[in-house]
Amino acid sequence: MAPTTEKISPVVALAGGVGGAKFAAGLQATLPPGALTVIVNTGDDFEHWGLTICPDIDTVLYGLAGVNNPQTGWGRAGETWNVLAETERLGGEAWFRLGDKDLALHLLRNNWLKSGATLTEITDRLRRTLDIPSRILPMCNQPVRTLVHTDEGDLPFQDYFVRRRCEPTFHGLTFVGADNAALAPEVAESLQSAAQIIICPSNPYLSVDPILSVPGLGDLVRASAAPVVAVSPIVGGRAVKGPVAKMMREMGHLEHLPLTVVEHYAGLLDGFVIDQQDRADESRFPLPTLTTDTIMTDLPSKRRLAVEVLQFTQSLQNGSCTANAPRHQNGQ
Amino acid sequence: MAPTTEKISPVVALAGGVGGAKFAAGLQATLPPGALTVIVNTGDDFEHWGLTICPDIDTVLYGLAGVNNPQTGWGRAGETWNVLAETERLGGEAWFRLGDKDLALHLLRNNWLKSGATLTEITDRLRRTLDIPSRILPMCNQPVRTLVHTDEGDLPFQDYFVRRRCEPTFHGLTFVGADNAALAPEVAESLQSAAQIIICPSNPYLSVDPILSVPGLGDLVRASAAPVVAVSPIVGGRAVKGPVAKMMREMGHLEHLPLTVVEHYAGLLDGFVIDQQDRADESRFPLPTLTTDTIMTDLPSKRRLAVEVLQFTQSLQNGSCTANAPRHQNGQ
């Protein structure tokens, strides 16, 4: 008789860029190979030098392959900048920092897209070449482009984020093209079979909302029998990285920012994970909450957080959580 | 009173890749700034990694800017290969050697083409950025693609030239798209105002014929009042570089190859320049011939050859040439 093998419980993570990639790397290091699927934001994608750039997919690819630059959080370790330097010399734009290794991937992807491959197929090809055991799924195959409404007018995401360094005051977002996006079968299947769904510590507005804007995707998360948990991107009232706290303030949320995250995900969550620095807010949460150290500085700290979050989420599934709060407290 | 300035006599050179770029560099070093216009073959252009690559234009740009790799004859001096190495690692094709500096130019051009600029405009922008005093004109703005008919079937030019290293037996060429190409105003104007027209020591079939295939271009060369001279790409019965001698043999021309060049340019030439190693063939030529050392190894030898060819061509204009042969002996 064949030996019995333990069934792998599939975990789905929704992720944006740097924070999402770090937490996903912790999950991957904790779970059995193949158990993790990461659904990645593509609202940040844009056209540059005639190439389609997918910053969040690449940050997740590099992070899960262990070839990322740990200093910057984006791009490749051991990167060189020979093409960028020459492009600048020849009169080209250099505000978006494209390294040589990074560019190799963009060129390949662009060529494969031109040949008719989908972003899902290309991403899967790349993650296999990079020996990544986890599935990485773009949120959809159609272009969705985040447009940022600011006091300086509407800015395409990368103009707001990189060129203008998030300085203009944030008024809101439109995910251009989301109405025409289609739920990819791979995304639907992964959410339907998920045993746990975890929203990574990514920017709720810029990284997670675009994913949820894909028609049908948010409904699958809400309808899932699996527990849904979000990890707060706020630590000590500030963003670990990126403009999320600044954006919240510009929308009038001046304090208790972790609570703002929970309220933003109303109807979606079964549990929430906050940093120990925000412990004072703990009693305000209307749902089961894990309070722990959410700062990830290296692989051991990523793995430790992943283990704690997976155990917490598992406990919600089993109904063994001591916290006394309704599941899907809003909307279900 | 302003000092009188000598009027610059415009010289137009028709050029392919390496041989053309070397001779054009000699002409540029000899002539007053702005006197030289180089009309360049684009039949070798192709799509690679989703980018439009223009090998002959780039070889001329790099050669006239003095940033070319003198060892290989193509590409940049001090080149690096970081993108190519990573592309190969990620599963991409690497048979066409794209260096990092070279790639920077392809990316820029591709982006500018996408923005609606013509190849003529882009080439002019690049030669100004590279401080090149000569005009460099693509033979046309529409895509013309050289298709090589061989005993192994039809091969796109770069497949024949780079991937298959010119090994298949050559049967003939088609310049796909030439029928729909249009004579660019800049090309027409330069040929109409030329005081001398010089066909560089480039492959007559692969480099010069595509230029002459642009509707109306060959007629302007034939109709020009300026003397037209070609420099032989054959030295000592062999090609200085590339497959021209092999192609001639495969078409049944086994000896007197410089004469084969002259016969190929029937109706076009007022004079011909051969290498001293082919002096034995000199008496066979039915038109004024300059016999000299045509090997170009460095800038002084390029300049020396350019001076001799310009003086020879000038002599044909003035009717002072001692050789006794009809002008435009075929067809005019």
pLDDT band at B256 (very low <50, low <70, confident <90, very high): confident
A104 touches chain B (CB under 8 A): yes
As given in the structure block, the two tokens for residue A25 are 């790397």
Of B193, B170, B155, the residue nearest B39 (C-alpha):
B193
The answer on pLDDT for B61 being more than 70 is yes
Token pair belonging to B43: 């039949």
Contact A100/B at CB under 8 A:
yes
CB-based contact (8 Å) between A219 and chain B? no
For B90, nearest residue in chain A (alpha carbons) = A129
Q: How many angstroms away from the CA of B39 is the closest CA of chain A?
A: 22
pLDDT band per the 50, 70, 90 thresholds, residue B79: very high
The Cα B27–Cα B127 span in angstroms is 16
Whether residues A83 and B83 touch (CB distance < 8 A) is answered with yes
Q: Which of B46, B47, B100 to mutate to test the interface with A (most CBs of A within 10 A)?
A: B100
Query: Is pLDDT above 90 for A206?
Result: yes
Query: DSSP code of A168?
Result: S
At the second CATH level, the architecture of B11-73+119-145+180-318 is 3-Layer(aba) Sandwich (3.40)
Interface test with A, best of B46, B47, B83, B125 (most A CBs within 10 A): B83
B positions 58-87 inside 8 Å of A (CB): 80, 82-87
Question: How far apart are the CA of A101 and the nearest CA of chain B, in angstroms?
Answer: 6
Q: Which residue of A has its CA nearest to B130?
A: A90
A213-263 pLDDT per residue, tens: 999 999 999 999 999 999 999 999 888 888 999 999 999 998 889 999 999
One-letter amino acid for residue B231 of the chain: V
**Is residue B328 scored above 80 in pLDDT?**
no
Asked if A83 lies within 8 A of B90 by C-beta distance, the reply is no
Residues B284-321: tens digit of each pLDDT: 888 999 999 999 999 999 999 999 999 999 999 865 44
pLDDT > 60? residue A5: no
Per-residue pLDDT at A327 exceeds 60: no
Where would I find the H helices in chain A?
A: 18-30, 55-65, 82-89, 100-114, 119-129, 157-158, 185-192, 209-212, 217-223, 244-250, 257-264, 299-317
Beta strands in chain B (DSSP E): 11-15, 36-40, 46-48, 51-53, 135-138, 145-150, 153-156, 170-176, 196-199, 228-231, 234-235, 238-239, 271-275, 289-292
Q: What is the pLDDT of residues A262-294, one digit of tens each?
A: 999 999 999 999 999 999 888 888 899 999 999
What is residue B283's predicted lDDT score, i.e. its pLDDT?
Answer: 86
DSSP-assigned states of every residue in A54-99: -HHHHHHHHHHHT-B-TTTSSSBTT---HHHHHHHHTT---SS---
A172: CB partners within 8 A, 6+ apart: A149
d(CA B171, CA B148): 8
With CA atoms as reference, the chain B residue closest to A105 would be B87
Cβ within 8 Å, pair A105-B114: no
B94-127 confidence digits (pLDDT tens): 777 899 999 999 999 999 999 999 999 999 999 9
Which of A235-239, B116-120, B223-227, B231-235 shows the lowest per-residue confidence on average (mean pLDDT)?
A: A235-239
pLDDT at A329: 38
- Interchain pair A91, B108: CB under 8 A: yes
Give the domain A11-65+134-317 fold.
Rossmann fold (3.40.50)
Residues of A in contact with B105 (CB under 8 A): 86, 90
* Six token digits for residue B305: 């050859």
Flag whether the pTM goes above 0.90: no
| Chain B residues near residue A85 by CB distance under 8 angstroms | 104
Q: Which of B85, B90, B126 sits opposite A126 (nearest CB)?
A: B90
B92 touches chain A (CB under 8 A): yes
Counting Cβ atoms within 10 Å, is residue B149 exposed (0-12), middle (13-18) or buried (19+)? middle
In this complex, is the C-beta atom of B116 within 8 Å of any C-beta atom belonging to chain A? no
Residues from chain B contacting residue A90 (CB–CB below 8 Å): 104-105, 108, 126, 129-130
Test A91 with B80 for CB contact under 8 angstroms.
no
How many Å apart are CA A195 and CA B108, to the nearest integer? 47
Which residue of B79, B90, B129, B131 to mutate against A (max A Cβ within 10 Å)?
B90
Q: What is the mean pLDDT of residues B253-274?
A: 93
User: Looking at beta carbons, which residues of chain A come within 8 Å of B110?
Assistant: 49-50
**pLDDT (tens digit, 9 = 90+) per residue, A99-124?**
999 999 999 999 999 999 999 999 99
Could you read off the pLDDT of A58-103 as tens digits, one per residue? Answer: 999 999 999 999 888 889 999 999 999 999 999 988 777 899 999 9
pLDDT over 80 (residue A323):
no
Give tens-digit pLDDT for A121-180.
Answer: 999 999 999 999 999 999 999 999 999 999 999 999 989 998 899 999 999 999 999 999
A121 to chain B, any CB pair closer than 8 A? The answer is no
Q: Which of A50, A103, A114 sits opposite B114 (nearest CB)?
A: A50
Q: Is pLDDT of B136 > 90?
A: yes
**CA-atom Rg of chain B in angstroms:** 19
Q: Does B98 touch chain A (CB under 8 A)?
A: no
Whether the Cβ atoms of residue B146 and residue B129 lie closer than 8 Å to each other = no
Question: Which of A1-5, A305-309, B156-160 shows the lowest mean pLDDT across its residues?
Answer: A1-5
For chain B, give the percent of residues with pLDDT over 70: 93
Domain chopping of chain B, boundaries: 11-73+119-145+180-318
Which of B143, B139, B219 is closest to B184 using CA atoms? B139
pLDDT at B323: 41
Is pLDDT above 90 for B73?
no
What is chain A's mean pLDDT, rounded? 91
- What is the predicted pLDDT for the residue at B226? 97
Q: Do A100 and B87 make contact, defined as CB atoms within 8 angstroms? A: no
Shortest CB distance from B50 goes to which of A80, A87, A107?
A107
Q: Which of A49, A100, A126 is opposite residue B100, by nearest beta carbon? A: A100
8 Å CB contact between A158 and A96 = yes
> Inter-chain contact A87–B104, Cβ cutoff 8 Å?
yes
Nearest residue of A to residue B131, measured between CA atoms: A90
For residue A86, give both structure tokens. Answer: 């020459």
- What pLDDT shows up at residue B238? 87
A325 or A36: which leads in pLDDT: A36
- Considering only residues 23 to 62 of chain A, which have any Cβ-Cβ distance to chain B shorter than 8 Å? 49-51
Tell me how far apart the alpha carbons of residues A54 and A109 are, in angstroms, rounded to a whole number.
Answer: 10
